[in-house]
Amino acid sequence: MAAVLAALPEPPPQTEEERRAAWDRWQDGLTSPFTLPDRLPPLRMLLVLDNLSGHKTPSLVLWLAAHGVMPLYTPLSGSWLNMAESIQRILVRRALTGETPTGPDDIIDWLEATARGWNADPTPFEWAGKRQLRRARSRQRHRHTLGGSGACARRPIRRRLTALDQWRHSCQVTH
């Protein structure tokens, strides 16, 4: 992380109030914001982490804050995350493609404007598509219907031969 931060350009000069406002802006709306130190460096980077306990240790959070990095954590146990990640990819691509931000405020403004545009005319998403069709075909190949009842088994069930079936089978073998 130190190498990544060292490769970043120097942040523009800011007053203490401007720095505090940038940090507060990203903490606004978080369900569990952390306490910011009294003296803040310029906000240089957002770091999205999962909720591993090691990512929330006071020593790591304080080190990140001291170096201008705001940790943001993904929500816990959300089956909707795949869809949320799809929407995030679309918003980021629409907001940032071909742009050259001069600071975090540019990125925030562009993402917020893109989200407002999306919310004004949202695109509905459905859990469907090519992947769902592949899975349905796979399930169909692996089902074995049981006597037209609509029930099915995961493996074929051998049919017992009746006396008539046994007689027919023996006739075919001898001829």
Q: Where in the chain are the domains? A: 18-75
pLDDT digits (tens, 9 = 90+) for 62-104: 999 999 999 988 777 665 666 677 778 888 888 888 888 888 8
Look at residue 48 in the predicted model and tell me its pLDDT.
84
- Of 35, 29, 48, 47, the closest CA to residue 112 belongs to 29
Look at residue 77 in the predicted model and tell me its pLDDT.
62
Asked whether 51 and 74 are in contact (CB, 8 A), the reply is yes
- Coil, strand or helix at 70: strand
- Average pLDDT over the chain reads 82
Q: Percent of the chain scored above 70 by pLDDT?
A: 87
Mean of the pLDDT values across residues 125-151?
A: 72
Higher pLDDT, 96 or 130: 96
What are residue 31's phi and psi, to 5 degrees?
Answer: -75, -30
pLDDT digits (tens, 9 = 90+) for 119-128: 888 776 666 6
161 pLDDT above the threshold of 60 = yes
